Chain A
Amino acid sequence: MDITLPILILAIPITMFLVLGIGGVKMSRKLAGILGICGLGTTAVLAYIVALTYYFSGDANFIIDGVRQQYQVFDVTWLAFTQRLVVNIGFLLDPISALMLIVITTISFMVHLYSWGYMEHEPGFQRYYAFLSLFTFSMLGLVVATNIFQMYIFWELVGVSSYLLIGFFYKLPSAVSASKKAFIVTRFADLGFLIGILILSYYTETFNFVAMTNNPAAVLQEFGGATFMGASLLTWAMVLIFTGGMGKSAMLPLHIWLPDAMEGPTPVSALIHAATMVVAGVYLVARMFPVYCVVDASLTFVCYVGAATAFYAAVVACAQIDIKRVLAFSTISQIAFMMVSLGCAYDLPIEGVHYSGLGYMAGMFHLFTHAMFKALLFLGAGALIHAVHSNNYTAMGGLRKYMPITHWTFLIGCLAIAGIWPFAGFFSKDEMLAAMFNRHWFWGAWMMMVAGLTAFYMFRLYFLVFWWEENPHYKEHKPHDAPWQMSLPLIILAAVSFCCGWIDFGQFVTWNGVPYHIHIEWVKVAIPSLIVAICGIALATRMYMKKNDLPTKVKNFWPTLWEAAHRRFYWDEIYMFITHKIIFGIICKSIAWFDRHVIDATMDAFATITQKASYAIRGMQSGSIQAYVLWYFFGAIILAAITWLCLI
Chain B
Amino acid sequence: MDYSQFGSMIPELIVLGIFMLVFLFDTFSNEKGKRILTPLTTILFALGTIAIWIVPASCEEVFGGMYINDNATNAIKAILNVGVFIVFLQSSKWVNSDEVAIRKGEFYELILVTLFGMYLMVSARHFLLFIIGLESASLPLAALVAFNKRHYESHEAAIKYIMTAVFSSAILLVGLSFVYAFSGGSLYFSDIALYIGQGEMSGLLLIALAFVIAGIGFKLSLVPFHLWTADVYEGAPTAITSYLSVISKGSAAFAFFVIFVQCFGAVYSDAWEWMMYAVIIATITVGNLFAIRQKNMKRFMAFSSVSQAGYIMLGAMAVNGLGLASMMFYIFVYVVSNLGAFAVINTIEENTGKLSMDDYNGLHKSNPWLSFAMTLAMFSLAGIPPFAGFFSKILIFTSVTSSNSWALYMLVLIALINTIISLYYYLLVVKAMWISPEEPKIGTFETERCQKVGLWLCVAGIVFFGLVPYIYQYCYDAVQSSLGFLTFFNL
Please tell me which one of the listed residues A617, A620, A627, A637 contacts residue B210 in the complex, with CB atoms under 8 A apart.
A637
Contact of B290 among A614, A632, A647 (CB under 8 A): A614
9 A-B residue pairs with Cβ-Cβ distance under 8 Å, sorted by A, are A610-B421, A623-B231, A625-B159, A632-B214, A632-B225, A633-B171, A636-B213, A639-B213, A647-B270
Contact A644 B227 (CB under 8 A): no
Q: Shortest distance in angstroms between A510's beta carbon and chain B's nearest beta carbon?
A: 37
Lowest 4 A-B CB distances belong to which pairs? A635-B224, A640-B210, A636-B214, A628-B227
Chain B residue at minimal CB-CB distance from A640: B210
CB within 8 A of B227: which of A610, A615, A620? A620
- Which single residue of chain B is at the shortest CB-CB distance from A617? B289
In the assembled complex, the Cα of A642 lies from the Cα of B231 at a distance in Å of 29
B203 at the interface (CB under 8 A from A): yes
Residues of B within 8 A of A613 (CB): 289
> Are the CB atoms of B164 and A629 closer together than 8 Å?
yes
Contact with B along A599-618 (1 / 0, CB 8 A): 00000000100110111011
Other-chain residue from B201, B213, B279, B469 in contact with A77 (beta carbon distance below 8 A): B469
The answer to whether B227 touches A621 (Cβ under 8 A) is yes
Q: Which of B167, B201, B224, B231 has the most CB of A within 10 A?
A: B224
For A81, list chain B residues within 8 Å (CB).
Answer: 394, 398
Picked from A611, A623, A631, A639, the residue with its CB within 8 Å of the CB of B275 is A639
Given A80-B469, A625-B163, A647-B271, is A632 in contact with B209 using a C-beta cutoff of 8 Å? no
Q: Which residues of B contact A610 (CB under 8 A)?
A: 288-289, 292, 421
Judge whether B206 is part of the interface by a CB distance below 8 angstroms. Answer: yes
**Contact between A644 and B203, CB atoms less than 8 A apart:** yes
Contact status A632-B206, CB under 8 Å:
no
How far, in angstroms, from A625 to B165 measured CA to CA in the complex? 12
Cβ of B228 under 8 Å from chain A: yes
B275 → chain A closest CB, angstroms: 5
Contact of A79 with B by CB under 8 A: yes
A 77-115 to B, binary, CB cutoff 8 A, 1 in contact else 0: 111111000000000000000000000000000000000
Whether, in the assembled complex, B274 has its beta carbon less than 8 Å from a beta carbon of chain A, the answer is yes
Of residues 452 through 466 on chain A, the ones whose CB sits less than 8 Å from some CB of chain B are: none
A552 located at the interface, meaning its Cβ lies under 8 Å from any Cβ of chain B in the complex = no
Instruction: Give the tally of cross-chain contacts (CB within 8 A).
Output: 101
Contact pick for B398, options A82, A614, A621, A628, CB 8 Å: A82
CA–CA, A611 and B289, complex, Å: 7
Would you give the shortest CB distance from A641 to chain B, in whole angstroms? 8
* Most B CB within 10 A of own CB, among A628, A637, A639, A647: A639
Q: 8 Å CB contacts to A: which residues of B285-323?
A: 286, 288-290, 292-293
A631 B171 Cβ-Cβ under 8 A? no
Give the Cβ gap from A391 to chain B, nearest Cβ, in Å: 40
A78 to B469, CA, bound (A): 6
Majority DSSP secondary structure for residues of B touching A:
helix
> Cβ of A627: which chain B residues have Cβ within 8 Å of it?
227
Say if the beta carbon of B207 comes within 8 Å of chain A.
yes
B210's closest neighbor in chain A, by CB? A640
Q: Which of A77, A78, A628 has the most CB of B within 10 A?
A: A628
Within 8 A of A (CB), among B137-191: 159-160, 163-164, 167-168, 171
* Distance to closest chain B CB from A491 (angstroms): 43
The complex places the Cα of A629 from the Cα of B227 at a distance, in Å, of 9
The residues of A that contact B271 with a CB separation of less than 8 Å are: 643, 647
| Number of residues on chain A facing chain B (CB within 8 A) | 34
- What is the CA–CA distance of A611 and B398 in the complex, to the nearest angstrom? 30
- Produce 1/0 per residue, B228-264, CB < 8 A to A: 1011000000000000000000000000000000000
The distance in angstroms between the C-alpha atoms of A28 and B419, with both chains bound, is 46
- Within 8 Å of chain A (Cβ to Cβ): is B97? no
What residues of chain A lie closer than 8 Å to B223, measured between beta carbons? Answer: 635
Q: Are B167 and A632 closer than 8 Å at their CB atoms? A: yes
CB of B274 within 8 A of CB of A629, answer: no
Q: What residues of chain B lie closer than 8 Å to A77, measured between beta carbons?
A: 469, 473
User: Which residues on the A side are within 8 Å of B211 (C-beta)?
Assistant: 636, 640
**Per-position contact with A for B31-51: 1 when CB-CB < 8 Å, else 0?**
000000000000000000000
- Residue A646 at the chain B interface, CB threshold 8 Å: yes
Instruction: Tell me, yes or no, whether B453 is within 8 Å of chain A by CB.
Output: no
* Alpha-carbon separation in the docked complex, A108 to B237 (Å): 57
* Cα-based distance from A79 to B469 in the complex (angstroms): 7
Q: A617-B290, A640-B207 are in contact. List 8 more A-B contacts (CB 8 A).
A: A618-B293, A625-B163, A629-B163, A629-B167, A635-B214, A639-B210, A639-B279, A647-B270
Q: Are B286 and A617 in contact (CB under 8 A)?
A: yes
CB neighbors of B among A535-551 (8 A): none
B209 CB, nearest partner CB in chain A, Å: 7
Q: By the criterion CB–CB under 8 Å, are A643 and B206 in contact?
A: yes
Residue B403 interfacial (CB < 8 Å): no
For B472, the closest partner residue in chain A by CB is: A80
Q: How many angstroms between the C-alpha atoms of A642 and B281 in the bound complex?
A: 15
Q: A629 to B394: give the CA distance in the assembly, Å.
A: 35
Asked if B5 lies at the interface with its beta carbon under 8 angstroms from chain A, I say no
Q: Is the CB of B274 within 8 A of A646?
A: yes
Q: How far is the CA of A637 from the CA of B214 in the complex (A)?
A: 10
Please give the distance in Å from A343's CB to the nearest CB on chain B: 38
Q: Is the CB of B293 within 8 A of A631?
A: no
Closest approach, in angstroms, between the C-beta of A247 and any C-beta of chain B?
24
- With an 8 A cutoff between CB atoms, is B278 at the interface? yes
How far is it, in angstroms, between the C-alpha of A81 and the C-alpha of B469 when the chains are bound? 11
Asked if A614 contacts B293 (CB within 8 A), the reply is yes
**C-alpha gap A611/B424 in the complex (Å):** 11
Query: Complex Cα distance A610/B422, Å?
Result: 11
User: 1/0 per position for B401-417, CB-CB distance to A under 8 A?
Assistant: 01000000000000000
